[in-house]
Amino acid sequence: MNLRRLWAIARKEALHIRRDPRSLGLAIGVPLLMLLAFGYALTLDVDRVPFVVWDQSGTTQSRELVARFTGTPYFSLQGTVENYPQLERTIDSREAMLALVIPSGFGRDLDAGRTAPVQAIVDGSDSNTAGLVLGYTQAIALSFNQQLALDQIRRRTGQAPGTGMDLRTRVWFNPDLASRNFIVPGILAVIMGLISALLTSLTIAREWETGTMEQLISTPVRAPELILGKLIPYLAIGLIDLAIAVSMTVFLFDVPLRGSVLLLFGVGTVFIVATLAQGILISTITRQQLLASQVAMIATFLPAFLLSGFAFAIANMPVVVRGITYIVPARYFVAIVKGIFLRGTGLTILWVDALCLLGFAGLMLTLAIARTRKRLA
């Protein structure tokens, strides 16, 4: 490999990028906009669920039950209703997702020690959110029943009963259980893969469309020099994007970075090289800029978004789909990024994912060089 020819190719590509400031602005601006959009819009947290109450009892017990809902950050009382048609309208119009129907004999049944039924109507059109709302509702009902049982024992015996088992939970790595803390690092990985592949998917195709590839073929430049020379400027842009994205993740979204910054950028460099090489491979195959960008979008963004495990747990996927995830490089980078950000783990734990990522980068580079060598021959 001739370093002078390699540097000449890299310089040529850098000059092309500098002559097209719009592309450079998109290469840096689009990842930031996507990170902002996904970071603020995509969340799995469910709080301030709107609910209404039809309190036919109007007793102290019914008001205490309602107070347990309003006293949590998960529910927001929108008002009261007086009949079922009004209740149906509030749910149909999405003014409320939960409706509590407390019968007229609620307080009387509790005072008599009988079971007092309460109806909880949940809008199930969004099954995931409805499942969480049901879980919150059942937890509040369980707490209410436990307090009733303790009060009854206290009245009968005149003393407070023992509490029994005292379960003390401790959540590691994400104490607040904030979905943003594991979604944003995953988004970072997905966006970096998409932008890197899009940047280089147009390079070789542009050379063919503009006719400059014929000029390159007539020169002594070799395929490895051409591929690596085109990778170097875009690798620099990718690292700038990564630095800005990591800074936004830490300082804007308040996601803790507990691991090694050097390890993050080291593995990030390998991932960027892998996706850049994948983009060049797509470019050498398609030879058309429009088709290359479309294929790059399908080959990088969709697998990374759906199969990397940043939003959907891989363990819950069908066996066949779980097998497909092993050929998605974002799977390994997402696992590494989450490990570095949240757990603070190092290569002693993440070496398998890092090795798979390195192997994918080597494979993409080899295929891109082989395909380009065939074109130059």
Query: Partners of 79 in the beta sheet?
Result: 52
Please choose, from the candidates 245, 302, 244, 239, the residue with its C-alpha nearest in 3D space to the C-alpha of residue 276.
239
Domain ranges of the chain: 3-43+178-376, 49-157
> How confident is the prediction along the chain (377 residues), in pLDDT tens digits per residue?
778 888 888 888 888 888 877 777 777 888 888 888 888 877 777 888 999 999 998 888 899 999 999 998 899 999 999 998 999 999 999 899 999 999 988 888 888 878 888 999 999 988 888 888 999 999 999 988 888 877 777 777 766 666 566 677 788 888 877 778 888 888 888 888 888 888 888 777 777 777 777 677 677 778 888 888 889 999 999 999 999 999 999 998 888 999 999 999 999 999 999 999 998 888 888 878 888 888 888 888 888 888 888 777 888 889 999 999 999 999 999 999 999 998 888 899 999 999 999 999 999 999 988 887 766 65
Which DSSP symbol is given to 340? I
> Where do we find the tokens 């370093």?
3
352: Cα within 13 Å, side-chain hemisphere: 5
The sheet with strand 49-55 has its strands ordered as 75-80, 49-55, 98-102, 119-122
Helix (H, G, I), strand (E, B) or coil at 101: strand
How far apart CA 308 and CA 302 sit, in angstroms, is 10
The model's pTM is 0.81
Q: Which pair of structure tokens corresponds to residue 171?
A: 């959540």
Structure tokens at 117: 């039924």
Q: 192: exposed, middle or buried (C-beta count within 10 Å: 0-12, 13-18, 19+)? A: buried
**Residue 55, both tokens:** 């309190």
The CATH superfamily assigned to 49-157 is abc type-2 transporter like domain (3.40.1710.10)
pLDDT at 375: 62
The pLDDT assigned to 44 comes to: 72
Cβ burial of 175 (10 Å; 0-12, 13-18, 19+) is exposed
Dihedral through CA 264, CA 269, CA 273, CA 279, nearest 10? Answer: 60
Q: What is the pLDDT of residue 86?
A: 92
